[in-house]
Structure 1
Amino acid sequence: MRLFWLLILSCSLQPALSTQTVHRWVDSNGVVHFSDQIAAGSASETIEVNPPAPSSTPVTTITSSDSDMATAAQEPQAQPPYDITLQTPLESETLRENSGKVHFSVAISPPMTQPFQLQVLLDGAAVLRVPNQLAGDLENVDRGMHQIVIKLLDENGKILASTKETTFYLFRVSVLTQPNHQAKPKAGMN
């Protein structure tokens, strides 16, 4: 029924839309008027108007369900921007671990909802990949100053985010610096 009334309305508007003659006149107050009818008792100017040329672009009607599909087809699934921060070790922290084990942990925001990996770079070299975990351990790290960067990777290896470079210090006791605990006899005592 709605379609019927739309058809009637469009047919009734068709003569008005196809009108090609416009009349222009100025009333006694100086106001300019335009109309498709000649004004009684005033001198009007006739203007010929050419209708616009039909568009060569086809018109497509999109329903709401079609528009959702069209939008999804046009735009690739955008991943939210992730932020990854190093929780441990902290900047300029000194770790005391004789075995050389360095524990690291990160926080990711927003939380990951898909498989991921953490790639650990120690002093610029990739040394470890940890799947789907926010923490791990580096083994047998030499004593001294180190820089650590952890990159968040998606399941295909694409980098999603990276921590800033963090410097930490690892203290490991050396056999050369261990104190001698044996009691030595004092000189001159018998």
Structure 2
Amino acid sequence: MVGKILLLLIALMLSLNSHASDKKIYAWKDKNGVLVFSDTPQPGAKEVKLTSQHLSMPATNTDILDTSPTKTAVKFKISITSPEPNQTIRENTGSVYVSTRIAPRFEAGFTIGLFLNGVAIGEPSDTTTLALRDVERGQHTLQVKLYNKQNQVIATSAESVFFMHRKGLNIGR
């Protein structure tokens, strides 16, 4: 019984091998002069004789064929334009308007965080002019941070110093 199965397997392998070798390849030039290969004969096609049953080609790197432009990350910069560094602000209510400049330009979804003396003031805003209220007299530092749509810091300004002057109360004089 085992001999019959072995004989059947050998016969099956030989028939498959002979069937594979019956495949023929034809070559011809099309109307544009391009060389075409196929297993279906065409008028004027010539049979290509192969010297080996197993053909293989090394892999070719096709990365140079990719013509899609690579997107470069934009490097943003943010700076404080007002108040100017070391500016003295005379405002009895303690109001300070902070103006910023972003380069290359402010994009939708970006926000700006304002920091007074290293402490965040309110929630980040989607405007480039921010207001501070009731700032005490004395020396203060300002800094702004630019956040992208994912709330990640993508630019930070240098710290800027300003001085707040407010009128004091003259009680009993």
- Say whether residues 1:94 and 2:107 are aligned partners: no
Q: Counterpart of 1:118?
A: 112
Structure 2: unaligned runs, 5 residues or longer: 1-29, 38-47, 49-55
Structure 1: unaligned runs, 5 residues or longer: 12-52, 181-190
Shift of 1:164: 0.6
State the distance in 1 between where 2:172 and 2:144 align.
37
Shift of 1:162: 1.2
In the comparison of the two structures, how many residue pairs are matched?
129
Task: Using CA pairs under 8 Å that are at least 6 residues apart, name the structure with larger relative contact order, 1 or 2.
Answer: 2
Q: Quick one: structure 1 residues 159 and 62, their matched pair in 2 at CA, closer, same or farther if it must change by over 3 Å?
A: closer
Q: 1:135 aligns with which of 129, 133, 138?
A: 129
State the distance in 2 between where 1:98 and 1:117 align.
29
Q: 1:173 aligns with which of 162, 167, 170?
A: 167
Q: Quick one: which amino acid aligns to residue 107 of structure 2?
A: T
Structure 2 residue matching 1:94: 3-state secondary structure: strand
CA RMSD of the aligned region, Å?
A: 3.5
Structure 2 residue matching 1:106: 3-state secondary structure: strand
- The TM-score normalised by the length of structure 2 is 0.61
Q: 1:103 aligns with which of 87, 94, 97?
A: 97
Q: Quick one: which amino acid aligns to residue 140 of structure 1?
A: D
Q: Counterpart of 1:146?
A: 140
Q: Percent same amino acid at aligned positions?
A: 21
- The TM-score normalised by the length of structure 1 is 0.56
Shift of 1:136: 1.3
Deviations 1:22-61 (A, max 9, x none): xxxxxxxxxxxxxxxxxxxxxxxxxxxxxxx963xx3365
